[in-house]
Amino acid sequence: MGNLGFHLCILISLACFNFPINCFDIQNKVTTTLFVFGDSMFDPGNNNYIINPSAYKANFEPYGKSYFKHPTGRFSDGRLVPDFIAEFANLPMIPSFYQALHNHSINHGVNFASAGAGCLDETYSEKVISLNTQLGNFKIIRKKLKAQLGKKGSKALLSNAVYLFSIGNNDYLRLYDIPDIPSNMSCLAYATEHEYMNMVMDSFVTVMMEIYKLGGRKFGIQDLLPLGCLPRFRGLAFLKEGPHSDCLDELNSIVKKHNLALSRKFKQLKKKLRGFEYSFFSIFDALNELFEDPSTYGFKEAKAACCGFGPYRGFGSCGMAEAYELCKNVKEHVIFDSYHPTEKAFHHFARVWWQGNSNVVESQSLKSLLA
């Protein structure tokens, strides 16, 4: 028996040496629970259950075709970052909140994210599941866990769980994604740029602190995308300034300020809150790396979307418009539609965050947080 175990260990080690991409934790399995909050970067299909016909949904082709072979509600051709993180951590795919309510186990976690959601309740209200509503849904799951595991068991699960967030993108998108409105904060009559940014930040931190009070201790935070360089805004810049334009710099400017303030905030919380741990992933920097040098990471096209129409395929609703274009090989593209990365790009982001690349990850790797 001892020799068999020895030879098995050797075989596993050789397998992981030869196939490192798929052998993250085969020798030392990581088991935990993931609770996921946020926007379309993380939404697995929660918006499919919103009755409002104008809700932001991706429940039609060609979404989902690369991996699932059918649309799931994910805004990409396949899986998203939380799907890959669950895989790396040897967890099953985390169910959406509405799946979890009916026929899925909740012991490995639940995904509450909603496409279009922001930190502020008024961001695309009635079309999305707001961050505060996502918090309310988490409380429903918390009660179910307490009923299933008892007070002590549920407390242990919640304190060891990791809470992933991708939120805030839409609070800024809604200010700029209307061609008839000037691209500046003057359209906000009730707030200066700094005041608005503080409102967004405070709303996010308030929700996160509520989770901390409910027992959460480990947080994974993804910052905001370089929104001004997504195909939608490259296209708007092209129409406004001509073929020599590139990104919408005004939008990227406020996003950079938000991300810097967010990073500082979590460093402060780490010092202030007992037992507080976090991993901060800068998708802003990670995506810019792909924009600047796509070939190094196995891509050919970084600026234009795979699906859409117009300049950079940044316009229209992928799959819904009568005249949308679809690229021949989605694996060559960094971006799938006007706003969202491809599955291949999401896999890259998940690996970088998991492993803790020092250029784009602060505090600790997601792998160590999940340990």
Helix 283-292 to helix 249-272 angle (10° resolution) is: 140
Known active-site residue 348: no
Specify whether the CB–CB gap between 291 and 303 falls below 8 A: yes
Closest alpha carbon to 64 in 336, 304, 335, 300? 336
For the chain, the distance separating the N- and C-terminal CA atoms, rounded to the nearest angstrom, is 29
Instruction: Please identify which of the residues 39, 282, 337, 365 carries the catalytic annotation.
Output: 337
Residue 58 structure tokens = 């991706």
Alpha-helical regions (H) of 24-118: 81-88, 97-102
Return d(Cα 345, Cα 67) in angstroms, integer. 14
Instruction: Supply 57's token pair.
Output: 């949904």
Q: Identify whether 77 is a catalytic site residue.
A: no
Question: 258, 333, 340, 347: which is the annotated catalytic residue?
Answer: 340
Task: State the Cα torsion 282-261-158-160 to the nearest 10°.
Answer: 50
Catalytic member of 39, 40, 108, 333: 40
- Residue 258 is among the residues annotated as catalytic for this protein: no
What are the tokens at 367?
Answer: 């792998």
Which residues, 6+ apart, have CB-to-CB distance to 94 below 8 Å? Answer: 34, 36, 44, 82, 83, 86, 108, 109, 110, 111
Catalytic residue ranges: 40, 337, 340
